[in-house]
Structure 1
Amino acid sequence: MSDGKDAQDPSQLRISDSDRHKVAEVLREAAGEGRIDFEELDQRLEATYAARTYADLVPITLDLPVHGAANLPTQPATASMPSPVVAGGPAEERHLAIMSGLERKGVWTVPARMTVNCFMGGADLDLRRAQFAAQEVVITINAVMGGADIKVNPHTEVIMEGTGIMGGYSGPSGHTDAELDANSPVVRIRGFALMGGVSVSRRRAPGAPSGPGRELRPR
């Protein structure tokens, strides 16, 4: 049962089948122009038809040209970007990479708590078009003679709490400034790197329009 808060946030309003069809048409047009491949088209279409609110649709077309915006469903204007936080996301995930790799990219949902253990292996987590199961998620990465590369967009706040032992925990780096507001998700990264490394870079999603940067707000 709703507590009434969703009704005050336009991004959390329910979308219609017509809204889903509009987004699907934009995706098919992008695929026809070669902007996304057919595998990614299938992934985004699946996410589109599974979407329930306007916020669910935002990451799906975030990196596509603005000329397609006229075909997209509209919602009441807000002072800040719609929140990428979605209800019903996974509470916890655990992954193990032993002399192998873990890759997550595109449109996916970051669980409230995620643990990745890398032993002579690596992890590539691209959060730039991701949704989040909570306003603040915790990602624990333990890397032993391995490493992890995490990418976030300008609208995601990152708090680094990892420890490096003959290794390093670093970030967020890059030439893209943070652009944070009240709806920005918080990613808290913990764990240790033993003879390995965990790095975070901030960059825009491929094809996303550039915008004015702002410094990371203090917490």
Structure 2
Amino acid sequence: MCDAPQGIIQTMAPGTHYNFDESIHPTEIMAYQTKLAHSSNDSSPTKQTIEIQYGTDVKTVSLSEINDALIPQIPVVSHEVGQYETFPNFDEIQKYTGSIKAKNLEVFRDRLEEKGLLGDFGGYIYEAGDQFTSKVLLANYSEHFTAPTSVCVHVSTHASCIHWQLASSAKILNEGIFSVSPNAYGLVNIGEVHITLPEVTSPTPLTFTLTLSTASKKEPITNSYKLMITNLGIYCC
């Protein structure tokens, strides 16, 4: 079903590290049936209920009412269960040599070309093993540029540094430190980060973190960016 409600399936964010087997065929059913088979003296139906995926919706049923009509015994096929935002790789267009054409990629390619951005777009696509380079900028505006009631805050950069880190859930892959000039105001170019992406065999989430430590603040200022490394490239989440 395209764009139809998918019940339990649509209650979680898209991901590649889990599936919906538990929602379609809960393990509680097997546990109950096993218990029932070994408890011949207790034939009274249970009042325990569970929610199961039923068609394109959710159905609440009693464990004692479960039958083959409620639990599918054949593969469940769905369409567009999870949608991921990625930068397109227009080099893939030429690989469609059969009856199917990458019309969606062609549309976005033409839009970028109309805006004069197509020539630079290759710099947004990285593959595993590529050298990743990113400029680190610090936006720091003093009280001379903002009204007293503005939410913008001047941060003194005296004795300041920016710590950058690329990490997976298991370990830190790379990190470094940039010093910040005490006279840094406005949008300031701090430095460049050079990272060789790790080789992966399955989609691997990474986090790129920037932390600004200053003498004027007890707590550092931190911002982080979610990345997804695949064997085909790196994508911003």
- Rg larger in 1 or in 2? 2
Aligning the two structures, in what range does the TM-score lie when normalised by the shorter sequence? Answer: under 0.3
**What TM-score do you get using the length of structure 1 for normalisation?**
0.24
State the TM-score, normalized to the length of structure 2: 0.23
